[in-house]
Amino acid sequence: EDQVTQSPEALRLQEGESSSLNCSYTVSGLRGLFWYRQDPGKGPEFLFTLYSAGEEKEKERLKATLTKKESFLHITAPKPEDSATYLCAVQGAGKSTFGDGTTLTVKP
Amino acid sequence: DTEVTQTPKHLVMGMTNKKSLKCEQHMGHRAMYWYKQKAKKPPELMFVYSYEKLSINESVPSRFSPECPNSSLLNLHLHALQPEDSALYLCASSQGQFDGYEQYFGPGTRLTVT
C-alpha cells in the first residue's frame, strides 16, 4: 500500500525566513509526485509534478526536489501570502495517495 | 484554462433528502474524480472515472451514487445521508488516470447533513 508522510505538521515562520517541508513516501511504481497548495475552504491548487530522482522544479519562491525516498519543498524568503496548507501526493497504480499536509503560517 | 467548476457551493440537506452535486470541466480531460475532505484532513478518494467509465470505487457506501453523463460532466447523487457525511466534496480532473498527470481541483461543495 502506498504511503505518504509529511513533516512538520505545522510550521510558523517570520517573513523572509527560509525553510523546507518534507514528504517521505513509499509507492509501488512511482508515476509522479505532486505538490499542491490548499487555502482554507478551497480546493487544492496544483504546484509541481516530479517524476524521477534528482529532478527539481521552481516557481517564484518555491522549489521542489525529489529523491528515491522523499521530496522537499523549499520556501525562500516567504511572504504572508504563502501561508497555506501544502499537500504532497504520490501516484502509483491509477490513483493518488495524499499526505496529511503541512500548514505553513508566515508572520509579517 | 484550468478551471473545474462545482455547484452548488453550499448544500444543507436532511437525512431523508435526495440531492445532487455537479462538476464540469472543459479541458478535454479524460479522468474525473470525487474526493471527500474533512477538516484538517487530506482529500480522501471516493470515485475515479476514466473515459466516462467507473474505474475505481473506494468502497463508498451506496448512499453516494456517481454518474458521468459525458466527458465534461460528473455528478454525485446523494440519498439518505448521515450527519458524519458532512464534509467538503471536491471534484478533480486530469488528462488521464495513469502516467503521472496532475489533477485540477474545483472549489468544492460544502455539505452539511442535519
Closest residue in chain B to residue A50, using alpha carbons only: B100
C-alpha cell at B95: 488528462
Chain B residue closest to A31 (CA)? B100
Strand partners, A23: A6, A71
Whether residue A103 has pLDDT greater than 90: yes
Give the tens place of pLDDT for each residue, A37-69.
999 999 999 999 999 999 999 999 999 999 999
- Which of A44, A91, A94 minimises the CB distance to B105? A44
Q: If pLDDT is split at 50, 70 and 90, which confidence band does B1 have?
A: low
pLDDT tens, position by position, B34-86: 999 999 999 999 999 999 999 999 999 999 999 999 999 999 999 999 999 99
- A33: closest CA among A64, A76, A1, A74? A64
Residue A106's pLDDT is what? 98
Establish if B75 touches chain A: CB-CB under 8 angstroms: no
User: Do B43 and A44 make contact, defined as CB atoms within 8 angstroms?
Assistant: yes
Asked if A44 and B107 come within 8 Å (Cβ–Cβ), the reply is no
Alpha-carbon distance of A42 to B105, in angstroms, equals: 9
| Chain B contact for A22 (CB, 8 A cutoff) | no
